Amino acid sequence: MADSHTLKLGSRPLHLADLRRVFEGPVNVAIDATALTAVAQAHALIGRLAAGDAPAYGINTGFGLLAQTRIPPAQRTLLQRNIILSHSAGVGPLLDDAIVRLTLVLKLASLVQGFSGISTELARFLERLINSELYPCVPAQGSVGASGDLAPLAHMSLSVLGLGQIRRRGEILPAAEALAQEGITPPALGPKEGLALLNGTQVSTALALGGLFELETVFAGAVVSGVLSTDALKGSDAPFDPRIHHVRGHDGQARIAQVYRELLAGSQIRESHRECSRVQDPYSLRCQPQVMGACLDLISQQAATLAIEANAVTDNPLVFPDTGEVLSGGNFHAEPVAFAADVLAIACAEVGSITERRVALLVDPKMSGLPAFLTPESGVNSGFMMAQVTAAALVAENRMLCHPASIDSIPTSANQEDHVSMATHGARRLLTMTGNALNIVAIEFLAACQGLDLLAPLKTSGRLQGASGALRRSVPFAASDRLLALDIEAAAFTVRQAEVQSLANTLLPSYR
């Protein structure tokens, strides 16, 4: 029986918070009883069509350019097996368990809506895979994001045949062995079931959602590190006045400014220079609400697109039991996911870009008023000199990676599939980009906390002291040069922690 922590599939739409939970760790899922009834009705219709003479794509015909080829009844089970085998042509590194788990949940959630024609036995098999933490080994490369994520979904589906490999609690085993250890017997494939498993945008969507969730983590960290830098650089809070943002009207901008005001409230450092002669701060301080607010709006918009796609039925053809029809269309084309991934990539690059500019301010004594490279004895010590160079290198790499993938369509399948989305690698690069951006934020976090300590005995606000204190538990003040790579790694870990994330993550769509 499902408990309160079990994720029910088929009873309501999946929310972003549900999907974040799937991404972050193992889950138990349960298929709603009403959904199973719908699955059975669609499967019965497929059975009737398979027994008839009328051509039905993927049921009694070949696939793609071979759609005009009729398949005799005796070969229709072989047809479904063969499509999985022939389409398992992926290459490259294996997708992480988090992405495969999310893909499995998205695929099952789509299939149990009752428009795909699979059997309840196949649905139960996928349910048991998820609940047993059996994650098929799926090569990351080989999909162009139209006709669905065919190659990666084929590799995922090999387990239905007892073939391929499965990762079980970190150990890679032959699929048949892993299934046997859990007492799971693969079902016999019926008409259309192989095609239903392979068609769909679930891999692209899982990768894009993973990128979204990681970008949210980076974004919240960048908000906090940006406020820390503002105080360390004795920046003004006047640019965060709500009246400025009200007259422009962008929601994200206003919300970011509000968080900055709240986090700076009570800072002794801010009060120490309130009457200073400086008229304006550099843009990377003053325009944080405008830049980060625009990024927040983009993130929110793309999150809405991905939430729709996560609940979509995207295989082909689709089964409509109420009218007895099977309709062939193109829901497998992942253009919405490709566009979302491209926009998220741009937002990620910009978050990293403005973050690095603040690091550059912090290490420059002409701009910061702090010791050169944030070290008490510069010359013999280089301080944060190379940390800023690393941040700059990561910014440059992300600029290269954020080239739009969606505009690079290339024809496939003998020109039958002549326009494709490229959503899969467009989404996959997000995880590389967010990893880069996290390290940029970690470097700023280190530099900003170093700058604040150099301003002692003046203190920042209580809430920002909590964030800097979280860092100081693992990374002490740098009085002299030491191995900075370890500090950056520790800072990246700190940025992910609740003491930092909770200061800003309520801005973000999967936390609302």
Nearest to 27 by CA among 106, 131, 111: 131
DSSP per-residue codes, 87-145: H---EEEEPPHHHHHHHHHHHHHHHTTSSS---HHHHHHHHHHHHTTEEE--EEE---S
What are the CA-CA distances from residue 323 to residues 42, 383, 407 (Å)? 11, 72, 38
Evaluate the omega torsion of the peptide bond into residue 457 and state whether it is cis, within 30 degrees of 0.
yes
- Residue 65 CA to residue 81 CA, distance in Å, equals 18
Task: Count the alpha carbons within 13 Å of 435 in the hemisphere toward its beta carbon.
Answer: 8
Q: How do strand 7-9 and strand 29-31 relate by DSSP bridges?
A: parallel
Question: Which of 392, 370, 386, 358 is closest to 229 using CA atoms?
Answer: 358
Measured between alpha carbons, how far is 320 from 107 in angstroms, rounded to an integer? 18
Cα–chain-centroid distance for residue 111?
A: 22
- CB under 8 Å to 257, separation ≥6 — which residues? 239, 240, 241, 242, 244, 245, 289, 293
Token pair of 99, please? Answer: 């992405």
Catalytic residue among 57, 260, 283, 511: 57
Q: Is 135 a catalytic residue?
A: no
Distance, in Å, from the CA atom of 135 to the CA atom of 132, rounded to the nearest integer, reads 9
DSSP assignment letter at 189: P
CA 46 to mean position of chain CA atoms? 35
- What residues are annotated to the active site? 57
